[in-house]
A and B are shown apart, each in its own frame.
Chain A
């Protein structure tokens, strides 16, 4: 049995045209320890798909069809209570905009430990703090003690993004959905977050669904990739193969849009030349 199984998922927003589906018949599956890339331009339904997996699509705004099973549990049949048990424990979601994803009135440590507070009531205060510090360190924040005591406005975007990853992995979930986590970061910070995700995947066998519009980043991280366009999957396969031999016209265009060293030379201009 796969860890995550999405079958024929269709999402329709009530205010959209009757035949316009935000997600239109998407099926894929993930095994334990998988890293799957989900790419496509803005508005292709990547985030909507991830929201469905988290059971977060408000029922009054959208109707859904199909089936999503996480570890054998059908997400669409879950009550809110059952969903709360899964969220933060089995499934963690990290999204973009780290600067606004922390509550300004609480210290980082407390917020990173929130999942533990909610899901692991059996642990004492000190044990939870130890786990939080460990998660912060594993997320590449070496001065974990310091970060633990800081308020969100005292940290940089990159540090907050790492803290968000720490908050997601603190309960050691089976699946991490990373929705455009590297988009708001500069290139060196992107690389560090990617290395971090890779490391975590290797260490804990945590599966990662990596959502991005940046093929370059996906190429670095993911073993398999799914390309979406207008709510449909247009291509999927091993990342190397898709990149080497794109079959679909849309994939070809996406790959052509990656700025490569070669293209830069051909164009005779680089942002690094400054001219």
Chain B
């Protein structure tokens, strides 16, 4: 029997589209102000007016989730862009040329990977000060090895294939071989690596904010909200649930979509 449809892609796609819509809206408009405090309405349970309830300052949790998810999304996307482009650069050179440079760069990457990324990011951000650009830069650098390794393996394999030899025989210069002839052939591996990297970046940013070294109040971030909600876990569990559930949803939807895209790739 022929199996039709692609449930991963469908669910992931719908969820991601919805989330993206909510996040983009969050950049311009939220139901309530995300910073204005309202002592009378603090720690309200979910209601028609406040879908996710309110926090200890009387701010609407849903509005803050909208904005916080946007911040997390932007940071994660930028981290992937930095990590991926530098990873492609390093990985392609290592994989294609091999030799001493490859050995040294690979060892450096291994060394970075040996430490938990979030720990190193904490150190870097503690030194440089916690601002959005510092968080993005720190995480971006720490995410380079994961991309470099994937890209390197691909290049090391593809460089020996006949069509690359053929390109060299046509007198094609090396940069063009690296980025026009080989790079598109690594996409089947690179795209999943990017989605995984994106998810890890969302988690890392949330973790850093949770530990108080990421996004600083009053700006909303899923991590800071999760931290603030700890104290009210018994009295106002919706606060923690709103933030935690959003992180889970964000990661789940993009994982599902990447899984769906990979299945699509396998089918064809």
The answer to whether A180 has its CB under 8 Å from any CB of chain B is no
A57 CB → nearest B CB, Å: 12
Q: Which residues of B contact A92 (CB under 8 A)?
A: 169-170
Segment from B16-24, B160-168, B204-212, B220-228 that makes contact with A: B160-168
**Main SS at interface, chain B:** helix
Min CB gap B79→A, angstroms: 27
**Is B185 interfacial (CB 8 A cutoff)?**
yes
B169 contacts A84, C-beta separation under 8 Å: no
Complex interface: chain B residues within 8 A of A106 (CB): 184
The residues in A between 65 and 120 inclusive whose CB is less than 8 angstroms from any CB of B are 83-89, 92-93, 95, 97, 100-106, 111, 114-115, 118-119
Is the beta-carbon distance between A102 and B168 smaller than 8 angstroms?
no
The answer to whether B163 touches A103 (Cβ under 8 A) is yes
Contact B168 A105 (CB under 8 A): no
Which residue of chain B lies nearest to A83 when distances are taken between CB atoms in the complex?
B171
Report Cα–Cα, A164/B172, bound state, in Å: 16
Q: How far is the CB of B185 from chain A (nearest CB, A)?
A: 6
User: B162, A101: Cβ atoms under 8 Å?
Assistant: yes
Instruction: Tell me if B50 is interfacial: C-beta within 8 Å of chain A.
Output: no
Chain A contact residues: helix, strand, loop or mixed: mixed
Question: Could you tell me how many residues of chain A have their Cβ less than 8 Å away from some Cβ of chain B?
Answer: 27
**Nearest B residue to A105, CB-CB:** B184
B177 to chain A, nearest CB (A): 10
Q: Across the two chains, which residue of chain A brings its CB closest to B161?
A: A100
- Residue B181, interface by CB 8 Å: yes
Contact with A along B135-177 (1 / 0, CB 8 A): 0000000000000000000000000011111111111110010
A202 to B124, CA, bound (A): 70
> Which A residue sits closest to B188, measured CB to CB?
A105
A104-B185 in contact given A97-B162, A114-B167 (Cβ < 8 Å): yes
**In this complex, which of B166, B167, B170, B185 has the most chain A Cβ atoms within 10 angstroms of its Cβ?**
B170
A118 touching B185 by the CB < 8 A rule?
A: no
Residue of B nearest to A102 (CB): B163
Chain B residues touching A, range = 10 to 19
Question: Judging by beta carbons under 8 Å apart, are B171 and A87 in contact?
Answer: yes
Whether A84 lies near B172 (C-beta < 8 A) is yes
In chain A, what residue has the closest Cβ to B99?
A: A60
- Selected from B163, B169, B173, the residue in CB contact (under 8 A) with A93 is B169
A100 B170 Cβ-Cβ under 8 A: no
A167 within 8 A of B: yes
Minimum Cβ distance to chain A for residue B47 (Å): 54
Q: Does A62 contact B (CB under 8 A)?
A: no
A103 touches B185 (CB 8 A): yes
Q: What residues of A have a CB within 8 angstroms of the CB of B181 in the complex?
A: 103
Residue of B nearest to A103 (CB): B163
Cβ contact within 8 Å between A88 and B170: yes
Q: Which residues of B contact A164 (CB under 8 A)?
A: 166
Is A54 at the interface (CB under 8 A from chain B)?
yes
Does A257 have its Cβ within 8 Å of any Cβ on chain B? no
Known: A103-B181, A103-B185, A105-B185. A84 touches B171 (CB 8 A): yes
Enumerate 15 A-B pairs (CB-CB under 8 Å) in ascending A order. Answer: A56-B169, A85-B171, A87-B171, A88-B170, A89-B171, A92-B169, A97-B162, A100-B163, A101-B165, A103-B164, A111-B163, A114-B172, A115-B171, A118-B173, A167-B166
5 further A-B contacts with Cβ under 8 Å, apart from A86-B171, A88-B169, A106-B184, are A56-B165, A87-B169, A87-B170, A101-B165, A167-B166
